[in-house]
Structure 1
């Protein structure tokens, strides 16, 4: 009987849905040392600060919000000053009439750094946040110490069609619900989404020349089951940045920070701790 039960349990485990096909719940943020809205760059950027030490700014993906870093913050804050921020128009932050762009969102990061009195910071970015991190390393190099760039694309054609993947469609549904819950303009999701779609259709444009100008340490990171960014584009980014590291995380997809949070955090810590 024991062997039959054990066999059934093993079969159940074998038949379990792979973690790269799952979209775990968005975590909550831990209690922050301080948080609030920074009046910068003509808008209000919501942010929260945890821990002390070398500053590390964590930038979430498109349509998301800072809560997506909830599984990483407590561990990282044991060694670093961790700052999370909602990008303009995302989460609890506001936006103005200017079209959304990666360049504009990069200047928001610098403006928040000025507001917080940070001369330099490391960047940990996921998806759109990784693109912003690379833009910062290109255009604001003196303010950036290093960049951990997970699931960035260099150009619009570096993405698979977003509406053809079941997991990403589930994320889009969730993003709408979270926007309504968190945003100071909960009825504005339709216009916000249109602006994001227009940005994604024409941006980014990270050329080999621009990427080649990056002089700070960079890890280009992605999941081995990435369903949004084409692998050849990830390799292009890694090959174009001098001395960049390339890390392909096992058994995770575009949503690695939720699917394998301990693995994701360990990789960040390893990167930040390198000389």
Structure 2
């Protein structure tokens, strides 16, 4: 890892970690308890540029480029939420972190949720932003518009903002069509993690926009699987679940990670003392 100046002053530490056969790029900003950030599809660490200063003012923020994204070159395996969750877990171990908080957005939210299922001992708290726990949680028109799993479709996306970012930072810019096709194949696979989510013990904050790509009914369903919405919280808060639900007004799936409302919702959850589990 090397340390370099960052915009707005201060230092950031950047580097690669060799984990699970992937050379995983990560950047570290700030200090304190570690918070790992996982971007959405076709994104990179830059996804969180607007809110990272607010988070890094309170935490050691570790931003990761997932397999095939950003500065992390692709490897000869499919894109899967499960394997990317294994990669991030291996990074946490590589960095000698006993445990970490993890925040994932969209595709990264799916990866973060799989970490809570597969590697819960490494997670202190989990934040899932604008991601469902089953594929049918997306609106039907969003599902229909998922990327085509074909490299030719990726070629047609030349010149778009995600492709332009990829050209700027990717170690093999020519891999863009391959990333498009592999991401499309991932996003079109059916999944339903509801039974596993119901067993998650990591305190979790679900964050959605009120005009999100996720159905409002699914937001409530997801929260219910985590123990939310089952009872009155009681006058003294004794009935509150360990997990929380935030629906941020006036936002969409496409601008939620740029809004100051997101760190304003996340930071209190990460720092608040959790209530004791209510008596059934």
Alignment TM class, shorter chain as reference: 0.7 to 0.9
**Whole-angstrom CA distance in 1 between matches of 2:55 and 2:113:** 21
Counterpart pick for 1:273 among 247, 271, 274: 271
Tell me how large the CA RMSD over aligned residues is.
2.1
Q: Secondary structure at the match of 2:220?
A: helix
**Whole-angstrom CA distance in 2 between matches of 1:110 and 1:146:** 14
Partner of 2:186: 199
Q: Summarize the alignment of residues 90-109 of structure 1 with structure 2, pairs less than 5 Å apart.
A: 90-109=69-88
Whether the 8 Å CA contact 2:24–2:64 is kept in 1: the answer is yes
Partner of 1:20: none
Q: Secondary structure at the match of 1:224?
A: strand
Counterpart pick for 1:156 among 135, 139, 142: 135
Deviations 1:53-72 (A, max 9, x none): 11100111111111011122
**Whole-angstrom CA distance in 1 between matches of 2:190 and 2:86:** 16
Whether the 8 Å CA contact 1:29–1:67 is kept in 2: the answer is no
Give the CA deviation at 1:258: 4.5
Closer, same or farther in 2 for the Cα pair 1:143/1:191, shift >3 Å? same
Partner of 1:22: none
Partner of 1:16: none
Q: Summarize the alignment of residues 231-246 of structure 1 with structure 2, pairs less than 5 Å apart.
A: 231-242=216-227, 243=241, 244-246=243-245
**Whole-angstrom CA distance in 2 between matches of 1:29 and 1:199:** 34
Counterpart pick for 1:264 among 258, 262, 265: 262
| Higher helix fraction (1 or 2) | 1
Segments of structure 1 that go 5 or more residues without pairing to the other structure are 1-27
Q: Secondary structure at the match of 1:179?
A: helix
TM-score, scaled to structure 1: 0.81
- 1:178 and 2:158 aligned: no
TM-score, scaled to structure 2: 0.80
Number of residue pairs the alignment of both structures matches: 240
